[in-house]
Structure 1
Amino acid sequence: MKHSINCLIVDDDPMYAIVASSILSTLTSGLLRTAPCGRAGLAALTRESRDTDLVFLDLNMPDLDGLAFMRAAHEVGYAGNIVISSGESPAVLRSAEAMGRMLGISILGVLTKPLTMEGVAEMLAKSEMTRGPSAKLGGLAGKDCELTPYYQPQYDLATLRIAGFESLIRLTSKGGRIHGPADLFSSVNGLEDLTAVSLEIAIKVVRDFRTWPVGRTRADVSINFDASVLERPHVIADLQQAVTDLSADPNTICIEVTEKSLPKDPSRLVEALTRLRMFGFKLSLDDYGMGASSFQLLRLCPFSEIKVDRSIIEACPHDRVTRKFLHAVAGLARDLELVSVAEGVENQEELSEVRAAGMDRVQGFLFSRPVPSQAVAELMSDPEAYPA
């Protein structure tokens, strides 16, 4: 079955445009447009940004290069995905990808030239997963949809047994259809909504966790919080009260903190995270190494865990600099007596790199996809769930 993804090809090489168009027309029935230069591509994107799901972007173009295109796309509010497709060196591609993500753009990945059918198909599949009928949801949970936590297990690399779970939120519509987090957060309006949703998710997760057979294994559960939410004066007290009301052990709950930039007044976040640790919660620094503030946060706040992003794990098998970075993070975690977690391991090659670096925990599709709460007990009791 073909995808129904609207694509824009931005490249000054006419032969590339012909090849890309031919491959995409085979794989998707959506609208397909080409732009012979960066400025034409930006004009098309600005004119029809809502009708563009995926941009295939060259970097080296004479009038407006790919880097300038990404910055301009961010400024006009493009909310779709971008695939960087270029013949530049791995170092340049890595930096361009990092820059796009720093801008907040959804970079699905990099395809080197010449294109292959398999590579394009993979990017279309990723794009399909990030799409969602946000405009059709009609609002947040409690209206047309319900917040539904799913759980991806984390495995201890020494024993290959489940050591914890990361909670990942989904939306379940009245008809039973499952939507991803993009649908939820695209309909969140401002910090007030984000705070309310984050606390509701936390309560649902703690309730689920108390029904699982984790006492023997001492597995923990991670809940994601944006730092801007944790800085709000009442949130820490609300979290503490929820755990107390549900008779949960805070030592089994890990708060994953995501922070794209250090706040103007870091003392608020430091105070909030210190209070959480004093109460007994674990703290994880999510996406370590992906933002400029990661080291500052690690230095200032009492974290118990460092988590490495999927994009770093994916790059390790073929990029020496990234591989060295992973080893350095694992070593830093050992020196600071922190748990290190590798996120998004999808194949044996990536698992080998994670093992070689000496990471403590691993999660990813190689081991298990996220599962609903009712499937957790079965997952924990199934000896076949742990790959060698």
Structure 2
Amino acid sequence: MDFQYDARTQELRENLLDFMDSQVHPAEPVFHEQLAALDDPWAWDSVPVLKELRDAARARGLWNLFLPGKDGAGLTNLQYAPLAEISGRSLHLAPPAMNCAAPDTGNMEVLHMFGTPEQKERWLRPLLNGEIRSAFAMTEPNVASSDATNISTSIVREGDHYVLNGRKWWITGAMNPNAQIFIVMGKTDPGADRHRQQSMILVERNTPGVEIHRGMHVLGYDDHEHGGHAELSFTDVRVPAAHLIGGEGDGFGIAQARLGPGRIHHCMRSIGIAERAIELMCARAEERVAFGKPLADQGVIREWIAESRVRVEQLRLLVLKTAWLMDTVGNKGAHTEIQAIKIATPTTVQWILDKAIQVHGAGGLSQDFPLAIMYAGIRTLRFADGPDEVHKSALAKSELRRQEARRKAQA
């Protein structure tokens, strides 16, 4: 790996840093004020200041940076990594301002890789232009969705249509009325091999039988700043057969293809969260006095600050290595590292946020600082795209096989 940024990455990085300092960070309080004034609190993407930021990001060439190829900015994972990190410092504002916010990013990747020309024209193009939003409906309340083969929503072929029945929850962004298209994962053939039972299909929001029941809360937050997390149901929902993504039975494979980049993007942005938490922690430690001296002079506080710096530097190197491997040997070749960063990132950043909150005292728990909502989001990430335990089990299984092969080769 070459640790130096190439010319294009450096140019984009400087551009993005200026955008963050001059426009995004000053817009953060404005965004929340304007969002609070809306009649529909879930319609976050209609806030005027966000449109201004989107126009500015487009003009600067900071648009669709996440997506490789001609549909996006054409960046490699290694080029995008430092940019995603910077955007993570203002997670609810910078990624959507650049059209790089989940779950739309993953959905655009799915349509980019597997969509038909008609599907791309009808849904990918408006998503790439930031005209509509989307949601990815996989997780279900009645099964352990950590095992994706448990998904029970039925997708049954009837002539030129598929009929969907099932219930989903924690569907990020679905409360937003501008989330006009859902990618739904369900079973088309429950009798097939367990990894060939699932399929993915595009369901428009206003299709009869689609009902949104409620928004889910995350440690007390409704996350309306990015469209919330909905519980919804599908009752005899009829969808044209042309809305199927790929073929019947391709759903599990498509999900894996979607989650690989999604996992690394989450990890990249999370490093930005950690960096902002360290900045806030240091500033608070310098300005507050306890027992006759600044918190920054207290031994335990210095230990937390030093340990935070060490941990985030270790994490960044692992994420960059993973990005480099994805570029050079592909997602399959980088599978071990993708699992490793998914395990390491949320727990590492959660630890840093915990210490930053502690340094802030009661203020760290309040709405006066972004630390509490950052903590809730990072804690969520230990479930999103697969819980820690699933990744640890799979990684351990892979390591055991690798070590066994090494022993046999030496025998």
Is the TM value for this pair above 0.5? no
| Structure richer in strand, relative to its length | 1
Higher relative contact order (CA 8 A, sep 6+): 2
**Which interval holds the TM-score relative to the shorter structure?**
under 0.3
| Structure richer in helix, relative to its length | 2
TM-score normalised over the length of structure 2: 0.27
